[in-house]
Structure 1
Amino acid sequence: MAGKTLVAVFSASGVTKKVGEEIARIVGADFFEIVPKEIYTDDDLNWMNKQSRSSVEMNDPAARPEITGMVSDMASYEKVIIGFPIWWGVAPRIIETFLESYDFSGKTIIPFCTSGGSGVGRSDEEIHKNVKGDVKWEKGTQINRSDEAVIKKWLDEVL
């Protein structure tokens, strides 16, 4: 079915999930939460601890945390809006796991991020390298709360 949109998000604290659910509601899109096989604890997410799980993953370009569940019919989507928190200036490694798990050929990918400090930065371009095939990319943006007016303004630019 042409024109279907999927909103896929990874959210460690719930902020990105809330924004993604609002985007899905506004667009009338399907929603998929990228859930790690091993859920991140507060200790795992302590970016000040160089031995924390998130620090170790982000310092290893080959790290690919496992995901629980799959999008059942990725082929049916024309557009995929992908959301993630910014970790170390880029998307978490689990986003690379997700992007490398599907064929996005012929699709439009529209990234958005949430962040407590930094903006989109290089995260937008960084995730391009994980996608094989002929993909149309829309420019990513930062949206930190489920503000309908802000989301609609951005969607008008990218959809």
Structure 2
Amino acid sequence: MKKIVIYFSASGVTAKRAKELASVTGSDVKAIVPAQSYSPADLDWMDHKSRSYQENLDDAVRPALKQGTVDFAGYDRIYLGFPIWWGIAPKVINTFIESNDLRNKEIVIFATSGGSGLQPAVRTLQKQYPKLDIKAGKLLNSSVKGDII
């Protein structure tokens, strides 16, 4: 089974866990890079005018990606990771999902979080994309020791 770890990391925490996961699972690894990176001010969840806060309020927001689509031909499993923002995936994850053909792939969600659990974010993605095979992996707030599924 060919696997790839795809992740979005705003501050480097999720990137570290994604690279560890790729290493322990023998997966390729690729970052999801927004066209406009997030500054510390953009990530200030206490500031109701911050970019991340405002994106969370609008279900239609889809931040542009720096890279184009990814060729997933030959991959069976996609580990998809992100930091949890307000209990859900950042909107850039929606952009990524909607920009790529993920049909017939097993998509295993992992995340990092300062306080939210993984299940609400997974359920939201499953509801948004019912035709995709989205499964819960694990919250990775500490070193990755093995596969998450």
What interval of TM-score do these two structures reach, taking the shorter chain for normalisation?
over 0.9
Query: 1:147: Cα distance to partner?
Result: 3.3
One-letter amino acid of the structure 1 residue matched with residue 113 of structure 2? S
Q: Name the CA distance, whole Å, in 2 between partners of 1:67 and 1:136.
A: 23
What do residues 64-101 of structure 1 show as CA deviations (whole Å, max 9, x unaligned)? 01111135421221110000101011110001111111
Q: How many residue pairs get matched?
A: 149
Coordinate RMSD, CA, aligned: 1.5
SS in 2 for 1:56: helix
Alpha carbons 2:119, 2:136 under 8 Å: kept = no
Q: Name the CA distance, whole Å, in 2 between partners of 1:35 and 1:46.
A: 19
1:9 aligns with one of 4, 7, 10:
7
One-letter amino acid of the structure 1 residue matched with residue 11 of structure 2? S
2:91 aligns with one of 87, 90, 93:
93
Aligned-pair identity in percent equals 41
Distance of aligned partners of 1:89 and 1:39 in 2 relative to their CA distance in 1, 3 Å threshold: same
Query: 1:120: Cα distance to partner?
Result: 1.2
Structure 2 residue runs of 5 or longer lacking an equivalent are none
Runs of 4+ displaced beyond 6 Å: none
Aligned to 1:144: 141
Distance of aligned partners of 1:32 and 1:68 in 2 relative to their CA distance in 1, 3 Å threshold: same
What TM-score, normalized to structure 1?
Answer: 0.87
SS in 1 for 2:103: coil
Alpha carbons 2:122, 2:134 under 8 Å: kept = no
What do residues 129-158 of structure 1 show as CA deviations (whole Å, max 9, x unaligned)? 44364x33322321112232xxx1x53xx2
Structure ranking higher in helix proportion? 1
Q: Name the CA distance, whole Å, in 1 between partners of 2:101 and 2:72.
A: 8
SS in 2 for 1:38: coil
What TM-score, normalized to structure 2?
Answer: 0.92
One-letter amino acid of the structure 1 residue matched with residue 102 of structure 2? F
1:32 has 2:58 as partner: no
Alpha carbons 1:47, 1:55 under 8 Å: kept = yes
Distance of aligned partners of 1:100 and 1:129 in 2 relative to their CA distance in 1, 3 Å threshold: farther
